[in-house]
């Protein structure tokens, strides 16, 4: 499962980098239509937040000094994914209003 969490974390961080750098590039060029954050919308940003949350929480649970079994690590990873997705969905919406 560590490989799954690592892949989710890498894909989520790459998505986050694309949204941040793409948004700043689009803003500097004055081309708001090129902004990947606005193209993805709130659901797309939630997927990126969920991937980052899944990867970070899963890796943290797997390498915990508590020596958790894999079902407990998976549950904690899913809780982290839900927290990341919810945070991205509602936190990103504040700037749009």
With respect to residue 26, please indicate whether it lies within any of the assigned structural domains. yes
Q: 28 pLDDT exceeds 50?
A: yes
Q: Whole domain around residue 78: which residue ranges? A: 2-92
With respect to residue 97, please indicate whether it lies within any of the assigned structural domains. no
Evaluate whether 57 touches 77 at the Cβ level (below 8 Å). Answer: yes
Instruction: Give CA–CA dist 65/15, Å, rounded.
Output: 30
pTM beyond 0.75: yes
Q: Encoding tokens for residue 18?
A: 């694309």
Tens of pLDDT along 70-84?
999 999 999 999 999
Tens of pLDDT along 37-76?
888 888 999 999 999 999 999 999 999 999 889 999 999 9
With respect to residue 88, please indicate whether it lies within any of the assigned structural domains. yes
Q: Considering only CA atoms, which of 14, 34, 11, 12 is closest in space to residue 24?
A: 34
Predicted pLDDT of residue 95: 53
Q: Is the dihedral of CA 76, 61, 2, 36 positive or negative?
A: positive
With respect to residue 31, please indicate whether it lies within any of the assigned structural domains. yes
Q: How many structural domains is the chain composed of?
A: 1
């Amino acid at each position: 499962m560590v490989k799954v969490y690592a892949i989710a974390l890498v894909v989520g961080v790459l998505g986050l980098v694309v949204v941040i750098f793409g948004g700043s590039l689009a803003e500097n060029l004055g081309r708001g239509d090129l902004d990947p954050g606005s193209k993805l919308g709130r659901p797309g940003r939630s997927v990126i937040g969920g991937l980052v949350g899944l990867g970070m929480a899963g890796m943290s649970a797997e390498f915990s000094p508590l020596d958790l079994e894999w079902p407990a690590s998976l549950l904690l990873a899913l809780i982290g994914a839900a927290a990341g997705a919810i945070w991205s969905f509602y936190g990103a919406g504040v700037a749009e209003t």
